[in-house]
Amino acid sequence: MTTTVPASAALSLGDDALVLSHRLGEWAGHAPVLEEEVALANIALDLLGQARVLLSLVGDEDELAYLREERAFRNLQLVEQPNGDFAHTIARQLFFSTYQHLMYAGLAAGDGPFAPLAAKAVKEVAYHRDHAEQWTVRLGDGTKESHGRMQRACEALWRFTGEMFQPVEGLDIDGERLETAWLKSVTEVLGRATLTLPTGPQSGAWTAGAGRQGLHTESFGRMVAEMQHLHRSHPGASW
Amino acid sequence: MATAAAHQTDSTAAFHSDDASAGADGFERAFDAAVAADERIEPRDWMPDAYRSTLIRQIAQHAHSEIIGMQPEANWITRAPSLRRKAILMAKVQDEAGHGLYLYSAAETLGASREELLDKLHSGRQKYSSIFNYPTLTWADVGAIGWLVDGAAITNQVPLCRCSYGPYARAMVRVCKEESFHQRQGYELLLALSRGTPEQHAMAQDAVDRWWWPSLMMFGPPDDESQHSAQSMAWKIKRHSNDELRQRFVDICVPQAESLGLTLPDPDLTWNEERGHHDFGAIDWTEFWDVLKGNGPCNEQRLTQRRRAHEEGAWVREAAAAHAAKRAARTARTTETTGATQA
């Protein structure tokens, strides 16, 4: 590939997709219904496909995925959050896929280096967003229990959302406009789901921008250890 | 009915039409004639109760095997050693969930419900393939499952594409296409290991050593101990005996093992010129029956995980049902209001 994309931006977007894909892969065999086994694996596969394209623009995909230390990953803290219950997984999906969809739609409309890639990804991501929105509404406007779980999940993950709108080196997006569009969309979905928009802080020293600088939350190290263990045990082997 | 035209023959017209005057004997004769003529039985056709219940049991246990079978492989998704292998494995596990869905749908055409069948699985009243009670201890096991377990499954399932029950046969056509793809990927994974570092080669050999015999057990007990075989063959649910299929599988695997550069763990395995087949050693049927009875290495673990996923997902399914009911009620109210306004 000859397109010159800014490596730091490709790494940020690639790591988001890689890490979220990994988390979704942990659901295999544990989903609440068979249809969700299929859906979650499908989303995980789309994201892994995006990660492979993006990381390959920067270097060798496997070297980047398996041989970097945790401090060198550039993903958002949001995507590395443990799956929790199904509501936590859906809240994480809603927040991230709305962001990813708006961002890729913006990049696809422009003529920057990410435009061709974004044009392809935006179709997949539209499906992810739709899936997350539908489940948010089902759980929010379902039973008393599901409503409570969905509300708690949104609140627990809210503090990780501010990071999405921080500038990313080499990525031509208007963070403020993105945030406005994202907030409008999420507010509308939560409203339909009879849920309340969380009010806690979404920015601050340990949330805004930390993942993009390689500062991650504690569970991330274990996730990386599991992901890299086999590859690192056989230096130089091919698979 | 997909084969309606083919069914309009003199011998089976009464059976396929809903002509009650034909009487029970007439239905049975027509059913037998349809099976003998290699016609497909479809959901609305008359069928003997025992044919229906045998099929429900077999299709359900096949579906259960697909979803329990996700576990030993999903065990390696988060540790897959390259992104390409990870994508292949995720896609495979996803396909298995899809196969489970087709098969539950096929069983539902016989009047069973998915919920009731899952309940039978969770309570241990219906079984799944004994092979999934073995653990996946190394990455190479993922390859051995693809090559041997999926290979054995395909050998079993290809004849089912011609099974007398239409919905099952059609599900098998779709399943077999994907399974043979998985099987090739498993073979290719083992080949990469076999040709890799000495450690990788050893890992591949160890996996084949552990999966070979359990794979041969997938064909079921020997013909003289197989209780459902005779009737299933008469009904053309089954086309070949357990031992025939097992032999076919061994004959296919021997040259493949050679080209993989791996050995099969059976000192008695030799080519028999006279029979035109490979002779092979005795299977440990005690182990087979033990695993089937629930005493294999992972029986408890597999069923516990399945039950837990179902129980922990109950609130999600309840939420979906409650939300659907609310929507339906809202739609009904809207329609009423609109109707009233228009009137």
Residue B8 pLDDT:
41
**B44-64: b or e for each residue (b if 16 or more CB lie within 10 Å)?**
ebbbeeebbebbbbbbbbbbb
CA distance B211 to chain A (A): 20
**B33-42: b or e for each residue (b if 16 or more CB lie within 10 Å)?**
bbbeeebbbb
**Assigned domain for A2 exists:** no
Residue B15 pLDDT:
57
**Assigned domain for A178 exists:** yes
CA distance B72 to chain A (A): 9
Residue B16 pLDDT:
57
CA distance A20 to chain B (A): 12
Query: What 3-state class would DSSP assign to B278?
Result: strand
Residue B226 pLDDT:
83
**Assigned domain for A133 exists:** yes
For chains A and B, CB pairs below 8 A equal: 143
Cβ–Cβ below 8 Å for B97 and A38 = yes
Q: What is d(CA B46, CA B2) in angstroms, rounded to the nearest whole number?
A: 16
Sign, CA dihedral B291-B294-B296-B299, equals positive
Instruction: List the 236-295 stretch of B: residues with Cβ below 8 A of A.
Output: none
| Tokens linked to B244 | 């025939």
Residue of A nearest to B310 (CA): A32
Cβ–Cβ below 8 Å for B79 and A26 = no
Judging contacts by C-beta atoms under 8 Å, the chain B residues touching residue A26 are: 77-78
Residue A156 is part of which domain span? Answer: 7-233
Count up the domains in chain A and report the number.
1
Question: Could you identify the residue written with the tokens 């009233």?
Answer: B340
In chain B, domain spans: 29-296
**Best CATH choice for the domain B29-296 from the list 3.20.130.10, 1.10.1040.10, 1.20.1260.10, 2.40.160.20:** 1.20.1260.10
B204 part of contact set with chain A, CB < 8 Å: no
Percent of chain A with pLDDT over 90: 90
Substitution target in B315, B326, B327 with the highest count of A β-carbons within 10 Å is B315
B46 part of contact set with chain A, CB < 8 Å: no
Residue B229 pLDDT:
84
Q: Phi and psi for B271 in degrees, rounded to 5?
A: -75, 130
Residue A201 pLDDT:
72
Q: How far is the CA of A150 from the CAs of A84, A94, A130, B43, B312, in angstroms?
A: 11, 11, 17, 41, 15
Is the distance from CB of B262 to CB of B212 less than 8 angstroms? no
Closest C-alpha among B41, B6, B48, B43 to residue B27: B48
Judging contacts by C-beta atoms under 8 Å, the chain B residues touching residue A149 are: 315
Residue A42 pLDDT:
98
Cβ–Cβ below 8 Å for B316 and A139 = yes
Residue in B82, B83, B90 closest to A44 by CB: B90
Answer yes or no: is the ipTM higher than 0.85: yes
Residue B7 pLDDT:
43
Instruction: List the 102-141 stretch of B: residues with Cβ below 8 A of A.
Output: 104, 139
pTM score, whole prediction? 0.93
Substitution target in A230, A232, A233 with the highest count of B β-carbons within 10 Å is A230
Q: What is the mean pLDDT of chain A?
A: 94
- Would you mind telling me the total number of residues written for chain A in this entry? 239
Is the distance from CB of A161 to CB of A78 less than 8 angstroms? yes
Instruction: List the 137-166 stretch of B: residues with Cβ below 8 A of A.
Output: 139
B317 part of contact set with chain A, CB < 8 Å: yes
Residue B3 pLDDT:
43
B304 part of contact set with chain A, CB < 8 Å: no
Cβ–Cβ below 8 Å for B77 and A25 = yes
Closest C-alpha among B181, B28, B194, B42 to residue B106: B42
Residue of A nearest to B140 (CA): A239
Residue in B70, B139, B313 closest to A230 by CB: B139
Burial of A99 (0-12, 13-18, 19+ CB in 10 A): buried
At A99-155, the pLDDT tens digits run 999 999 999 999 999 999 999 999 999 999 999 999 999 999 999 999 999 999 999
Residue B84 pLDDT:
98
Q: Phi and psi for B42 in degrees, rounded to 5?
A: -115, 160
Cα A54 to chain center, whole Å? 14
Q: What is d(CA A61, CA A224) in angstroms, rounded to the nearest whole number?
A: 15
| Tokens linked to A36 | 């969700």
pLDDT at A209 over 70: no
Residue in A26, A139, A239 closest to B81 by CB: A239
CATH number of A80's domain: 1.20.1260.10
Residue A157 pLDDT:
95
Q: How far is the CA of A29 from the CAs of A34, A95, B114, B303, B318, in angstroms?
A: 9, 24, 17, 11, 20
Residues 6+ apart with CB under 8 A from B232: B54, B58, B238
Residue B282 pLDDT:
96
pLDDT at A166 over 80: yes
Residues 6+ apart with CB under 8 A from A228: A65, A66, A67
Sign, CA dihedral A161-A165-A170-A173, equals positive
The low-confidence residues of chain B, meaning pLDDT below 70, are: 1-23, 339-343
Cβ–Cβ below 8 Å for B326 and A33 = no
Query: What 3-state class would DSSP assign to B8?
Result: coil
Beta bridge pairs of residue B69? none
Judging contacts by C-beta atoms under 8 Å, the chain A residues touching residue B103 are: none
Which residue type sits at B265? P
Cβ–Cβ below 8 Å for B199 and A237 = yes
Residue of B nearest to A24 (CA): B78
